[in-house]
Amino acid sequence: MYLIKKLLNKLNSSITGGAIVIAVFSVLSKLLALVRDRLLASGFGAGDILDAYYAAFKLPDLIFNTLVLGALSAAFIPVFIKLKNGGKGIDHWRMSSAVMNIILLVMLVLGVIFFILAKPLMGLIAPGFTGEKLELAANMTRIMLVSILFFGISNVLSGILQAMKRFTMYALAPVMYNAGIIFGIVFLVDRMGPIGLAWGVVVGAFLHLVVQLPSVVKAGFKWKPVLLLKDRAVRKIGKLMLPRTFGLAVGQINQLVITIIGSTLIAGSIAVFNLAFNLASVPVSVFAISFAVASFPALSESVAEKNKEKFVLQLSKTIRRILYLIIPVSVFMIALRAQTVRLILGSGAFDWQDTIFTADTLGYFCISLFAQGLVPVLARAFYARHDTKTPVIAGLVSVAVNIVLSLVLAKTMGVMGLALSFSISSILNVILLGVILKHKVGFLDEKRIGFAVLKIITGSIGGVVAIQITKYLVADMVDMQTFVGVLTQFVVAGIMGVVVYLIVGFMIGSEETKKIGKSFGL
């Protein structure tokens, strides 16, 4: 037990160590998410129930994601760190209580309003829903609104843990969330019917909160019944949150537009979009978000210390490590998209047509995985500089482009057009963020990043060629109509791709590959 505690303390003391902790639990969380999606797909297929389930998230997400998620962490962590390190103002724990209480109050008021108006609002969000499908979506929405109260408190706790570089329980929280949803699918659906899916979300949100609470209390936090609306630190957080909140609101409107369009397409389109998006988000969460979250406190500290060189060095290192992992994964996922979908989702009510539909949509999402992976760390680079406006501006432009392209491409490509639009807008977003950050900071270690990317792309090309060749060789030796056959092809081809990627990287002098080799004594 002592050795485990010592190891965790060591990992939490560095960006790489923190990223490893977050990545390990992120992998576990995503594995549970894949189990969750498999249970959903096999139990209900890409049809009306899953369409209603995913649409039901939109109103709770509109409240929570806009007002808390992202906006809070972007504003809360830098202010918390400054107060903790002796900055002028109230005690950082007292400030945390005030922020938590304000958020809980806002969540409660908005939750009640949306609860009352759930059905008419759902009619606007999903105009293609009628009758029982609309009623189910509205009822699920009302239940899911309870979850935003738990998430409001939980995300303040998450901000505290991130600021104090205690990543373990913060990283475990999403695991518990998915465990709660799975509990709903396995145990509550049999007793309550499809509405049990919504109660599973509430259970997951509660577990997300409970698992973090002991660590925050141990760190010194004691809740106080205060609001402190006139306090300078609390107002600073509110001021920093406003631009980000506005940007997130636009992002949520973007999601609503996608749902509106999806509800008018063939039945199951919303389900396919969300299932494909969830698969594509696995590498982004495991690799990109892990490094972005772990690097944020260090980036904030380097800005507080006015150490520009340290800021650029940490940012460059994080970017290169994200790209080293996410570029080959995105290429490999495109090459193995049908196998990926069939293995993870293809059972029960999820038939072969659903598989092809979802695999093609996944392919379009994967085009922009590198951009989706860089946006979190580039945005946090701005947040560390107390600039929450610039990411909002870039986000506004990309969202506008996404909405326009979605309206155009969905007419000819259906749900795949929605995925392609999302990818194009994501690439535009990361370009805008990079150009603006370059203008503000000046030097971003571009030459080193550029050479690293060239080597990564070269290795990825070698890896995907190996995958394609291996795929066809294995297909002739196994029965591709069986789960074992598809799994064999996927595993063998995937391993060959990774091996060739590493070999090519080692041969052309990839810095990241050399570090991996050194860790194995090569």
Distance CA 504, CA 459 (A): 5
Query: What are the sequence ranges of the domains in the chain?
Result: 48-255, 268-444, 445-522
SS (H, E, C) 309-364: HHHHHHHHHHHHHHHHHHHHHHHHHHHCHHHHHHHHHCCCCCCHHHHHHHHHHHHH
pLDDT in tens, 139-176: 999 999 999 999 999 989 998 888 887 888 888 999 99
Task: State the DSSP string of 62-119.
Answer: HHHHHHTTTHHHHHHHHHHHHHHTT-SSS-HHHHHHHHHHHHHHHHHHHHHHHHHTHH
Residue 94 has pLDDT above 70, yes or no: yes
pLDDT in tens, 75-88: 788 888 888 877 66
**Is the model more confident about 196 or about 245?**
196
pLDDT in tens, 465-506: 999 999 999 998 888 888 899 999 999 999 999 999 999 988
Render the burial of 422-456: b for 16+ CB within 10 Å, e for the rest.
Answer: bbbbbbbbbebbbebbeeeeeebbeeebeebbebb
Q: Which residue, chain included where needed, has tokens 């506004």? A: 396
Residue 73 has pLDDT above 80, yes or no: no
Per-residue pLDDT, averaged over 499-518, amounts to 84
pLDDT in tens, 205-228: 999 999 999 999 998 898 899 888
Helix 2-12 to helix 167-183 angle (10° resolution) is 110
Which residue, 251, 321, 247, 326, is CA-closest to 281? 326
Distance CA 220, CA 475 (A): 58
Task: Give pLDDT, residue 199.
Answer: 97
Residue 37 amino acid letter:
D
Q: Report the alpha-carbon angle 125-129-133, nearest 5.
A: 115
Predicted structure pTM score: 0.77
Radius of gyration of the chain (CA): 23
Per-residue pLDDT, averaged over 371-397, amounts to 88
Residue 117 has pLDDT above 60, yes or no: yes
Assigned token pair, 514: 């050399």
Collapsing DSSP states into helix, strand and coil, what is residue 445? coil
Assigned token pair, 471: 């795929």
Mean pLDDT of the residues in the chain:
87
Residue 422 amino acid letter:
F
Which residues, 6+ apart, have CB-to-CB distance to 353 below 8 Å? none
Residue 96 has pLDDT above 70, yes or no: yes
